[in-house]
Amino acid sequence: MTAVSCRACGGTDRHVFYSVRGVPVHSCLMVDSREKALAFPRGDLELGFCRTCGFIQNDRYDAALQNYSPDYEETQAFSTRFMRFVEEICDDQNRKYHLAGKTALEIGCGKGEFLVALCERTGCAGIGIDPGYRPERTVSEAADRIRFIQDFYGPAYAHLQADYVCCRHTLEHIGPVFDFMTLVRHSIGDRPETAVFFELPAVERVLAEQAFWDIYYEHCTYFSLGSLARLFRRSGFDVHELWTAYDDQYLMLEAFPADGPTPARLAAEDDLAAISALVAEFEAKIGPRRRALVDDVESWKAQGKRVVLWGSGSKAVSYLTTLDLAERIDAVVDINPHKWGKYLAGAGNEIVSPAALRELRPDVVVAMNPIYREEIGRDLAELGLSPKLVAL
């Protein structure tokens, strides 16, 4: 068997530490029947840790199995908590880079919420690229300043020029990350003043909490602060800022183009030993962690309790399919109306509105993301419900 090399640095000193067979190849692609959901295409997870640069990748990832399209429903824009975070990012980036009158390029813009907010709040113009963009959802006074391209970012768009380049929650979906970042650097060309901002999930938290529900096929790459900075520096960027946000769930990086590879100079970049230790801890604890979560659900069901998941995104798909709990859950709820009446890929559960809980009257609600616990609690109270609220 040919040795798998690291897609970030090319290294071969690697350790496979987590495997799951037969997981759905998409988590956020909407499915219109239970039968189609249960027959959804599957692939394998096999996470390998690069001891050279700290990057983690799914060695079994095959992009050909996937089909990103407008039916991909990833948006979190229906959460007031999340949109407050988006506005905070926009304001922060504007304070730093004074975007009024400039052009912002967003690679992987999704449904366009961030780019629209950025243009509204700063006065900049925008270019957004994403195969899942839906034009009917953009209703904004800034719409005439924004050009959306319903496609994947690639060499065909290397000619696009911007004063500010951002990419949020997209790099973790890219297999050949070094090639991708090299393309981004090439497209900027000889414009050293172009600010670059990336945001993506933080693997440190996933490893420390054994949060396997944040490991799924769509996310084929996993970064720490250090491994992300090392990729950028290797690709010809100088990293200026590096931090975590959203209760340490997300990595944030700001950089500028450089003439070639740049040396590390930020304290957060020195994390290789710490990440190696977290990988070992994850490997040792993931079995008991998974068994404990199954035991929780089985205990509730043995007591005759009705159990509901709140949140129908990738976390729910991974939680249900990894633990084989789909049949034990009474309902899966989401606040996004575009998901209601659809079914979870691989699991087969129908996605219902919060209002459906008035009739179901759950005893236990499992929040798939603890950052939304307060928001979910308010929604439950407005429905006249007071179940036990458990956050993963």
Residue 98's nearest CA partner among 121, 126, 129 is 121
Which pLDDT belongs to residue 3? 77
With respect to residue 113, please indicate whether it lies within any of the assigned structural domains: no
Distance CA(97)–CA(162), nearest Å, equals 13
Q: Which residues contact 199 (CB under 8 A, 6 or more apart)?
A: 89, 166, 167, 168, 169, 245, 250, 251, 252, 253
Residue 179's nearest CA partner among 35, 6, 23, 322 is 6
Residue 309 pairs in a beta bridge with 332, 366
Distance CA(364)–CA(388), nearest Å, equals 5
Question: What does each C-alpha distance from 167 to 164, 171, 200, 273, 376 come to in angstroms?
Answer: 10, 7, 8, 28, 28
Which pLDDT belongs to residue 2? 63
Distance CA(126)–CA(5), nearest Å, equals 37
Going residue by residue through the chain (392 aa), what tens digit of pLDDT does each one get? Answer: 567 999 999 999 999 999 999 999 999 999 999 999 999 999 999 999 999 999 999 999 999 999 998 889 999 999 999 999 999 999 999 999 999 999 999 999 999 999 999 999 999 999 999 999 999 999 999 999 999 999 999 999 999 999 999 999 999 999 999 999 999 999 999 999 999 999 999 999 999 999 999 999 999 999 999 999 999 999 999 999 999 999 999 999 999 999 999 999 999 999 999 999 999 999 999 999 999 999 999 999 999 999 999 999 999 999 999 999 999 999 999 999 999 999 999 999 999 999 999 999 999 999 999 999 999 999 999 999 999 999 99
With respect to residue 115, please indicate whether it lies within any of the assigned structural domains: no
Residue 334's nearest CA partner among 319, 356, 318 is 356
With respect to residue 333, please indicate whether it lies within any of the assigned structural domains: yes
The tokens of 97 are what?
A: 């880079």
- Residue 357, domain CATH: 3.40.50.720
With respect to residue 347, please indicate whether it lies within any of the assigned structural domains: yes
With respect to residue 339, please indicate whether it lies within any of the assigned structural domains: yes
With respect to residue 340, please indicate whether it lies within any of the assigned structural domains: yes
With respect to residue 146, please indicate whether it lies within any of the assigned structural domains: no
Tell me the residue range of the domain where 380 lies.
297-391
Residue 91 pairs in a beta bridge with none
- Please report the sign of the dihedral spanned by the C-alpha atoms of residue 11, residue 12, residue 13, residue 19: positive
Residue 389's nearest CA partner among 371, 372, 377, 375 is 377
Question: What does each C-alpha distance from 240 to 16, 168, 194, 261, 284 come to in angstroms?
Answer: 32, 17, 13, 14, 35
* Residue 221 near residue 56 (C-beta atoms within 8 A): yes
Distance CA(156)–CA(160), nearest Å, equals 9
Number of compact structural domains in the chain: 1
The tokens 């926009």 sit on which residue? 90
The number of beta carbons lying within 10 Å of the beta carbon of residue 119 is 25
What type of residue is 60?
A: R
- Please report the sign of the dihedral spanned by the C-alpha atoms of residue 211, residue 47, residue 312, residue 42: negative
The tokens of 32 are what?
A: 């219109």
With respect to residue 93, please indicate whether it lies within any of the assigned structural domains: no
Which pLDDT belongs to residue 37? 97
* Residue 339 near residue 243 (C-beta atoms within 8 A): no
Distance CA(214)–CA(203), nearest Å, equals 9
The tokens 């990057």 sit on which residue? 55
The tokens of 176 are what?
A: 């050949």
Distance CA(181)–CA(206), nearest Å, equals 24
CA dihedral 88, 93, 96, 97 (to 10 degrees): -150
Which pLDDT belongs to residue 4? 92
